[in-house]
Structure 1
């Protein structure tokens, strides 16, 4: 239960941090805005964080139901599937955000894409924090998946 609550907290914090990441600067007299919603990958990450947060909130209810005395312990299989879907969703969202974040921080010399993080450092730092929070949630989901699989394996036949 603690890991589920941590996943809820970290995905919610990751989404909120990403949403609040914006910065406006002027470079050579040209106003430049950096916002998360300018990137489809960052928007996808926010949506996935909120979806996983909601699904994990529902799984808390499912865990409470499964811990009732007359429930069928074989229902842990559905919890395992639920955790697998969550980890796949979150990993896809955070990977997409990390790919764009990497290009934003370091650029891509061969294609001519320049780094923007030297101009909008606050924006890039908040994006980095959001990605780290999401990766921590992925780690907690991985632990939940392993725990669910272990509980399922250890059930009496």
Structure 2
């Protein structure tokens, strides 16, 4: 037994729990990666043109017409790349569940990426709300009755991004639990 009454050898109490937390961390990273990648792809490929066209005007809605949606795609792409490149470190934690320094680095980076994802999703949520509801005081009209596919795709990508933000919160909590168990 080591100090504090927690033993860290195979078959002893404390070894399986830390390894279980590391496996859950790995699975949650994969799910968050899929959520952020799916959200970035869904928003980045959102484009709708209305079927009627006049001689001089064509009605089209694209994600890059709004800088907020561009930020959303970049934020989710960065988060997706980070989550992909953090998978080997998560595998390392499964193999060697007693490492602390790399877990502290992951907690810091997970928190930063979580803030980035929440910032992109929150800003885009405001724009999607305006697209659905409009604002009569400022004469901004709801466009979702005309651009139905555009609004469905942007709303769906927000769901994936907020899901990834919740998973990133869980990852920070799991890393905190794993660090506290040492």
TM-score under structure 2 length normalisation = 0.79
Which stretch shows the higher mean deviation, 64-73 or 35-44? 64-73
Give RMSD over aligned pairs: 1.8
Q: Residue 67 of structure 2 corresponds to which residue in structure 1? A: 40
Q: How many residues align?
A: 155
Where do 1:1-157 residues align within 5 Å?
1-26=26-51, 29=54, 30-69=57-96, 72-155=99-182
Larger radius of gyration: 2
Which ranges in structure 2 are unaligned for 5 or more consecutive residues? 1-25
| Pair 103,48 (structure 1): closer, same or farther in 2 beyond 3 Å | same
Following superposition, the deviation at residue 152 of structure 1 comes to: 1.1
Following superposition, the deviation at residue 31 of structure 1 comes to: 2.2
Q: How far apart, CA to CA, are the structure 1 residues paired with 2:44 and 2:96?
A: 42
| Pair 106,54 (structure 1): closer, same or farther in 2 beyond 3 Å | same
8 Å Cα contact 1:15-1:46 kept in structure 2: yes
SS of 1:59 mapped into structure 2: helix
Following superposition, the deviation at residue 75 of structure 1 comes to: 2.9
Which ranges in structure 1 are unaligned for 5 or more consecutive residues? none
Question: 1 or 2 for the larger relative contact order (CA 8 Å, sep ≥6)?
Answer: 1
Q: Which ranges of 4 or more aligned residues in structure 1 deviate by more than 6 Å?
A: none
8 Å Cα contact 1:108-1:114 kept in structure 2: yes
Following superposition, the deviation at residue 74 of structure 1 comes to: 3.9
Which stretch shows the higher mean deviation, 63-72 or 94-103? 63-72
8 Å Cα contact 2:53-2:59 kept in structure 1: no
Q: How far apart, CA to CA, are the structure 2 residues paired with 1:52 and 1:139?
A: 13
